[in-house]
Structure 1
Amino acid sequence: MKRYVIEREIPGASDLSQQELAAIASKSNDVVASLGVPYRWITSYVAGDKVYCIHEADDEEAIREHARRGGFPANAVTVVANEFGPDTATR
């Protein structure tokens, strides 16, 4: 599967309560289970009026179908070309 970064514009995202985030997570999990294709939600980050999600799927269409079924915006969907971190410098 490919890894994707999904940018979701959600006004007031930083003000969402833990209960609201839990409800969004529950909906997302239900949609993932119903897709019928390989799909994995890795994590999400809330920053300002945006939520950045890391998901794995075979193609962008699966990412967009997840968003459609869940009622989530998917303003930008970008495949991750590579990944690195602090330990990359010592390899």
Structure 2
Amino acid sequence: MKRFIIERNIEGAKDLTHEDLVQIARTSCAAVASLGVPYVWVNSYVAGDKIYCVHEAEDAETIVEHARRGGFPADVVEVVVAEFGPHTATESQVA
């Protein structure tokens, strides 16, 4: 499976309550279960009026279908081509 970053523009996202996020999570999990294909919702982050999600699926079309079934926008869907972090600075290069 490929890893994707999804940007969802949701006015007022920063004001969502814990209860709102619980309901969104339940809706997302139900949408994942309804797909019938390998799919992993890794995590989501609220920042301002956007929600950024990390999901794993075979293709972008499946990501968009999850959004449609959940009633969520999927304004930008990008495949992750590399991941790195502080640990990367200490890794040696493999030839």
Determine if the TM-score, normalized by the shorter chain, exceeds 0.5. yes
Do structure 1's residue 2 and structure 2's residue 2 form an aligned pair?
Answer: yes
Shift of 1:70: 0.4
Q: TM-score if structure 1 supplies the norm length?
A: 0.99
RMSD: 0.3
Alpha-carbon separation, structure 2, partners of 1:76 and 1:52: 10
Aligned length: 91
Residue identity in the other structure for 1:63: I
Alpha-carbon separation, structure 2, partners of 1:31 and 1:17: 21
Residue identity in the other structure for 1:56: E
Give the 5 Å matches for 1:67-78: 67-78=67-78
Alpha-carbon separation, structure 2, partners of 1:55 and 1:8: 13
Cα distance per residue 1:27-85 (max 9 Å; x no partner): 00001011011000000000000000000000001000000000000000000000000
Give the 5 Å matches for 1:1-91: 1-91=1-91
* Structure 1: runs of 5+ lacking an equivalent: none
Residue identity in the other structure for 2:38: P
Shift of 1:4: 0.2
Once the two structures are aligned, what percentage of the paired residues are identical? 65
Q: TM-score if structure 2 supplies the norm length?
A: 0.95
Alpha-carbon separation, structure 2, partners of 1:31 and 1:81: 25
